[in-house]
Amino acid sequence: MSTNPLLAQPAASTAAEAAPPTTPLTGAVATLQALVAEGVDTIFGYPGGAIIPIYDALYDFKDQLNHVLVRHEQGGIHAAQGYARSSGRVGVALATSGPGATNLVTGLADALIDSTPLVCITGQVFAHLLGTDAFQETDIINITTPVTKWNYQVTRAEEIPEALAKAFYIARSGRPGPVLVDITKNAQMQTFEAPAYERCTHVRSYRPAPVVRNEYIEQAAALINSAKQPFILWGQGVVLGKAEREFQEFVEKSGIPAAWTILGVGALATGHPLNVGMLGMHGNYGPNVLTNECDVLIAIGMRFDDRVTGRLDKYAKQAQVVHLDIDPTEIDKNVKTTVPVWGDCKETLPLLMALIEPKKHEAWLARFNDYTAQEVDAVIREELFPTSEELTMGEVLQQLNEITGGEAVIVSDVGQHQMVACRYALQNQSRSHVTSGGLGTMGFALPAAIGAKFGAPHRPVVAIIGDGGVQMTIQELGTIMQTGVDVKIIILNNQFLGMVRQWQELFHQRRYSFVDIQSPDFVAVAAGYRIAGQRVDDRAALRPALEKMLAHPGSFLLEVMVTKENNIFPMVPQGCSVAEIRLR
């Protein structure tokens, strides 16, 4: 008899006893059981021929899964993103094959660049028809490979549980991101003997959480302890790592001024004395200028995006750089790092905390405050408390802050209003601003706000959208109507594609080329969807209208007519260094 355990055959009776119990299931039911087992409560989707078996099974899962019928698959995936961003959970979107699947592509690209955990499930034609140009067949795996963290096509029902378990694990672990599982129709319909669902905890050749190296923690602490003018830049990694508490403790113990990228906002309250403001092209004056004067730059969970760094060869050249990130491909990608701290900041921040000395950098912090005072005089006061007759976007945010006290989840679209919302919205807690940061997807906010409300049902959700962007996904008012979800929508209407107009004004001699956009009567459109609304074009009406909107039991659309040609300042013009930021 062989002594090699790999060759030893178990006795037949033992094997029969050890076999796990199985249940006959269709692939469609196994798909939904996997979602329930992964803790999913809400899914956003739109049916079609290739995903009918899953929709048929959904009929019997109504008590366990709340399916939100959107009006367009792009709306579905943005809603799933909003859900994920406000709740910290995995967002789920369903779509049929062909056009349904391709309508997800923008959302996938958006979720990948903004590290949003999503599982998208697409129906696909029967396996025997693959590659035949069958009706509504599209090669969604190849189409979505560059815009997903992982994707996979399932052609047999037996593969479904394992594929979905992997999908959820990959979406939420390490640096989160979107995954797509494409399931052929035959796989949804086949019955197979399904073992009990097992969540995935490991995938060969995928290392989501690195082993933290102590020597780098020690080097980083030594640099921080010896720094005279240290500066912290933080990004969404703090939020994704659920490390807000550790981060605040680190900032407070080190006494180091800290500035945020737009996706990191709220990890430290906007009113915290060490929160010195927003980085980047339309960020605050002090953080941009002083990036080029600090001696140690501590980047935490941020990726040195070009909107943050401006011209790279003139970016923080004087500073030693400590970079904490979970994704090793971010380290040294754009900015050369002195000390790389590869790891989850939930783990690395406490290690670093233990080694840093408690300090205060009062003179250095005062410099940030001096710059803030200059920015208030040059820009902020007039934006928030205008002396001009026309309404400004900033005063709408200011009034909103006064009413909500910074407790609302703000969901902003893309353009000038987004920068105003990022700059001026008060944020008392994390996960309070959902916006399309990396991709800058117009049309994101309306559906994302729907998802954000499902993800944070006990918080007020206010979407801030431009008159251009809202027209990209306005059909999702139908989703609001049908679900009754309570989303407040503020359209800041400047009658222009404002951000493009600003660039044409400043850099193209005011040659306004196709930025003058007409809009429908938005309040009438809302009424058509049985959503209450109001239009405001004078200052006296603004505050009462905002109060009415927030007190309204249910969704409400408020259109505010604002100055047509206002520009967002400060601004780091493209191709300039952060230190060349202009106040006007």
Ligand X SMILES: Cc1ncc(C[n+]2csc(CCOP(=O)(O)OP(=O)(O)O)c2C)c(N)n1
Give catalytic residues, as residue numbers.
73, 135-136, 185, 499
Please tell me what DSSP assigns to residue 578. G
Contacting range for ligand X; rule: CB under 6 A; set: 153-161, 273-281, 399-407, 415-423:
415-423
> Least distance (Å) from ligand X to the CB of residue 399?
17
Q: Total number of residues binding ligand X (CB under 6 A)? A: 20
115: number of Cβ within 10 Å: 24
Dihedral over alpha carbons 429, 430, 431, 436 (to 10 degrees): 110
Amino acid at residue number 142: N
Specify whether the CB–CB gap between 163 and 152 falls below 8 A. Answer: yes
- Measured from the CB of residue 396, what is the shortest distance to ligand X in angstroms? 11
Helix (H) or strand (E) holding 236: none
CB of 442 to ligand X, least distance (A): 4
CB of 302 or CB of 499, closer to ligand X: 499
Q: Minimum CB separation from ligand X for residue 410, in Å? A: 14
The helix (H) or strand (E) run that includes residue 394 is helix 393-404
- Kind and range of the H or E run holding 564: none
Give the closest residue to 181 by CA, choosing from 101, 278, 82, 266.
101
Q: How far is the CB of 418 from ligand X (least distance, A)?
A: 7
How far is residue 506's CA from residue 577's CA, in Å, rounded to a whole number? 17
* Euclidean distance between CA atoms 232 and 322, whole angstroms: 9
Q: Is 414 in the site for ligand X (CB under 6 A)?
A: yes
Which region among 4-12, 56-64, 227-235, 467-475 touches ligand X (by CB under 6 A)? 467-475
Instruction: State yes or no: residue 416 binds ligand X (CB under 6 A).
Output: yes
Shortest distance in whole angstroms from residue 383 CB to ligand X:
14
Q: Is 437 a residue that touches ligand X (CB under 6 A)?
A: no
What residue has token string 């020690």?
218
CA distance 54 to 448: 24
Q: How far apart are CA 106 and CA 120, in angstroms?
A: 13
Candidates 122-130, 261-269, 452-460, 462-470; binding stretch for ligand X (CB under 6 A):
462-470
Query: Cβ closer to ligand X: 231 or 522?
Result: 522
Could you say whether residue 469 binds ligand X (CB under 6 A)? Answer: yes
- 467 is a contact residue toward ligand X (CB under 6 A): yes
Specify the residue, 54 or 472, whose C-beta has the smaller distance to ligand X: 472
DSSP-assigned letter for residue 61: G
Comparison of 186 and 416: residue with beta carbon closer to ligand X: 416
- Token digits of residue 34: 């996997």
| Identity of the residue, 406 or 469, whose beta carbon is nearer to ligand X in the bound complex | 469
Report the side by side order of strands in the sheet with 42-45: 66-69, 42-45, 91-95, 118-124, 178-184, 150-154
Decide if 447 contacts 439 (C-beta within 8 A).
no
Q: Which helix (H) or strand (E) element contains residue 121?
A: strand 118-124
Q: Which span sits near ligand X by CB under 6 A: 195-203, 395-403, 437-445, 533-541?
A: 437-445
| DSSP-derived secondary structure letter, 315 | S
Question: In whole angstroms, how close is the CB of 310 to ligand X at the nearest point?
Answer: 18
With binding defined as CB under 6 A, does residue 442 bind ligand X? Answer: yes
Contacting ligand X (CB under 6 A), which of 122, 309, 399, 441? 441
Residues numbered 305-364 forming contacts with ligand X, rule: CB under 6 A: none
For residues 66 and 567, which CB has a smaller minimum distance to ligand X in the complex? Answer: 567
Give the whole-angstrom CA distance, residue 83 versus residue 67.
13
Q: Shortest gap between Cβ of 445 and ligand X (angstroms)? A: 9
Integer angstrom CA distances of residue 127 from 13, 131, 402, 447, 493:
37, 9, 57, 33, 49
Tokens representing 178 are 């979107």
Tell the smallest beta-carbon distance from residue 412 to ligand X (Å).
Answer: 9
Q: Which is nearer to ligand X, 277 or 415 (CB)?
A: 415
CB of 470 to ligand X, least distance (A): 7
Nearer to ligand X, 346 or 488 (CB): 488
Least separation in angstroms between CB 413 and ligand X: 6
- Please give, one letter per residue, the 3-state secondary structure of 354-393: HHCCCCCCHHHHHHHHHHHHHHHHHHHHHHHCCCCCCCCH
Q: From residue 481 to residue 510, what is the string marking binding to ligand X with x (rule CB under 6 A)?
A: -----------x-x-xxxxx----------
468 is an interface residue for ligand X by CB under 6 A: yes
Comparing CB distances to ligand X, the nearer of 78 and 185 is: 78
Distances (CA, A) of 238 to 209, 277, 316, 335, 359: 15, 16, 22, 19, 22
Q: Which of 208, 440, 460, 573 binds ligand X (CB under 6 A)?
A: 440
Tracing tokens 């092209």 back to the chain, one arrives at 281
Tokens encoding 223: 């640099």
Q: Is the Cβ of residue 126 or residue 512 nearer to ligand X in the bound state?
A: 512
- Answer yes or no whether residue 415 interacts with ligand X by CB under 6 A: yes
Chain centroid, CA 518 distance in Å = 29
CA–CA dist 578, 584 (Å, integer):
15
Verify binding: residue 466, ligand X, rule CB under 6 A. yes
Concatenated DSSP letters of 523-536: HHHHHHTT-EEEEE
412 binds ligand X (CB under 6 A): no
CB closer to ligand X, 301 vs 466: 466
* Angle of helix 214-226 versus helix 345-355 axis, rounded to 10: 50
CA–CA dist 493, 523 (Å, integer)? 12
Q: Which residues form the interface with ligand X (CB under 6 A)?
A: 413-417, 440-443, 466-469, 492, 494, 496-500
